[in-house]
C-alpha cells in the first residue's frame, strides 16, 4: 500500500509539472511573450492532434513508422544480444574484433543515412537498416558488459556443484545480464524511432518523418511539434511496457 501511494504521488507530481509547463506555454503565447509562429501553442497542438486522430490521418503514417521502428528494434536487439554472447564466451574473437566494434560505433550513423538510402533505396529496408545500426551497438555493449560483470564466485560455485555450460548460461549468466539488457532496450526504443524517422525525413512518401518534413517545408510549426508529440507518446508507451517486462523478469532481484 505504501509503495502504491508513493507511485501515485510521483505520478501526481509529474502531471502537475506537465500541466504547469503547458499552462505557462499557453499564457506566454497569448500574452505575446513568445512568437506562436515558431513554437505554436498547446491549444493549437491539441486541436491539430485531435484532427489527425479523428480523420485517421495520423494512424496511416504512424503505422508505417512503427513497422520500420519495430523491425529495426527487433533485428538490432537480436543481433546485439547474439554478438554480445559470442564476444563474452569467445575471448579470442572479442580481442580480435573489439577495436573494430569501437570504431564502427564511433561512426555517425545519421551522416551515414544518405548512404543507406543510396544502397537500399527509399523503401522500408533503408529505414530498418538505419534503425538497426543505432540499436545494435547499444544492446551489444550492454549485453557484453553485463556478461563480463557476472560475479566469478557465483560461476565457480555453480561449477563446483556440477553445473554444465548450458546450465551456467541459463541460470547464472542470463539472469545476471538481464538487467543490463533491459536497460539497453529501454534506451534502444528511442534510437530505433530516431533511425526510422531520420530515414523517412531524408526520403519517403509516408510516415511520421515525412509528415514532419512536409510540415517544416510549409513553415507549419504546429504540425511539426504535434508530430513530435505523437512520437514521444509512442516511445512513452513502449518504455512503460518494457519497464513492466523488466520488472517481471527481474523479480528475483532485491527491491
pLDDT single digits (tens) 146-202 = 888 776 666 666 666 666 667 676 667 777 777 788 878 888 888 898 888 888 888
Architecture of domain 40-249: Orthogonal Bundle (1.10)
Q: Domain ranges for the chain, please list them.
A: 1-34, 40-249
Mean pLDDT of the chain: 83
Which are the contacts of 86, defined by CB distance < 8 A and separation ≥ 6? Answer: 93
Which are the contacts of 117, defined by CB distance < 8 A and separation ≥ 6? Answer: 126, 199, 202, 203
Least confident of 24-28, 105-109, 196-200: 105-109
User: Which among 214, 251, 236, 223 has a CA at the least distance from the CA of 52?
Assistant: 223
Q: In this structure, what DSSP letter does residue 122 have? A: S
pLDDT at 1 over 60: no
69 three-state secondary structure: helix
Mean predicted confidence (pLDDT) in 80-97: 88
Q: Residue 136 — very low, low, confident or very high, per pLDDT cuts 50/70/90? A: very high
Q: Sign of the C-alpha dihedral, residues 118, 134, 80, 93? A: positive
Amino acid at each position: 500500500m505504501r509503495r502504491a501511494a508513493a507511485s501515485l504521488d510521483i505520478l501526481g507530481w509529474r502531471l502537475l509539472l506537465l500541466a504547469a509547463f503547458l499552462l505557462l506555454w499557453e499564457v506566454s503565447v497569448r500574452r505575446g511573450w513568445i512568437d506562436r509562429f515558431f513554437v505554436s501553442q498547446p491549444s493549437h497542438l491539441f486541436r491539430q492532434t485531435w484532427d489527425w486522430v479523428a480523420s485517421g490521418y495520423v494512424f496511416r503514417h504512424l503505422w508505417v513508422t512503427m513497422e520500420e521502428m519495430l523491425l529495426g528494434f527487433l533485428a538490432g536487439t537480436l543481433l546485439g544480444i547474439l554478438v554480445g554472447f559470442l564476444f563474452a564466451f569467445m575471448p579470442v574473437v572479442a580481442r580480435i574484433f573489439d577495436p573494430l566494434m569501437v570504431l564502427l560505433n564511433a561512426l555517425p550513423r545519421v551522416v551515414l543515412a544518405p548512404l543507406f538510402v543510396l544502397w537500399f533505396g527509399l523503401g522500408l529496408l533503408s529505414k530498418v537498416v538505419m534503425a538497426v545500426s543505432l540499436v545494435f551497438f547499444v544492446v551489444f555493449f550492454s549485453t557484453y558488459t553485463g556478461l563480463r560483470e557476472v560475479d566469478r564466485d557465483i560461476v565457480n560455485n555453480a561449477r563446483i556443484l556440477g553445473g554444465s555450460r548450458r546450465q551456467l548460461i541459463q541460470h547464472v549468466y542470463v539472469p545476471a545480464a538481464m538487467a543490463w539488457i533491459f536497460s539497453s532496450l529501454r534506451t534502444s526504443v528511442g534510437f530505433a524511432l530516431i533511425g526510422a524517422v531520420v530515414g523517412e525525413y531524408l526520403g519517403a512518401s509516408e510516415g511520421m518523418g515525412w509528415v514532419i518534413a512536409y510540415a517544416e517545408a510549409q513553415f507549419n510549426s504546429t504540425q511539426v511539434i504535434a508530430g513530435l508529440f505523437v512520437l514521444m507518446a509512442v516511445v512513452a508507451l513502449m518504455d512503460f511496457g518494457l519497464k513492466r517486462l523488466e520488472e517481471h523478469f527481474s523479480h528475483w532481484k532485491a527491491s
